[in-house]
Amino acid sequence: MKGFFILSHDHSFEVAPSDLEEMTFEEARELSRNERWRLPYKEEHELMYRLHQKTIGNFQFASYWSAEGYNNKNAFTFSYSNGMSFQLTTTQSKPAPKKPVRLVRTI
């Protein structure tokens, strides 16, 4: 998988070239444990969002999973519609949603 690179004073990372299928936070977190690729942190999403605003990166206008989550009951997303981060809390009557996933890796 060859993506594109973001280099800043605080962060240097490679962004996967495309989204993975939509999945729950637990599925995304488990997937990112098995590879060198991982879920991006909020600060990395903010940098990727700046590219998205310039139509770079082929991101959806959707909320992506962020690494700051704990489990399916308390997970964070980052919206590529408005550049905001949100905490999602699920309950037994409100199951964990599936969201797009874009992985990154530290370089």
CATH entry, 4-106, from 3.10.129.10, 3.40.630.10, 3.30.160.100, 3.10.100.10? 3.10.100.10
Position with higher pLDDT, 69 vs 61? 61
pTM, entire model: 0.88
**DSSP structure class, residue 95:** P
**Distance between first and last Cα of the chain:** 14
pLDDT given at position 91: 74
**DSSP structure class, residue 98:** P
102 vs 18: CA distance, rounded Å: 7
- Say yes or no to pLDDT of 50 above 90: yes
pLDDT given at position 96: 80
Distances (CA, A) of 68 to 37, 76, 87: 15, 6, 9
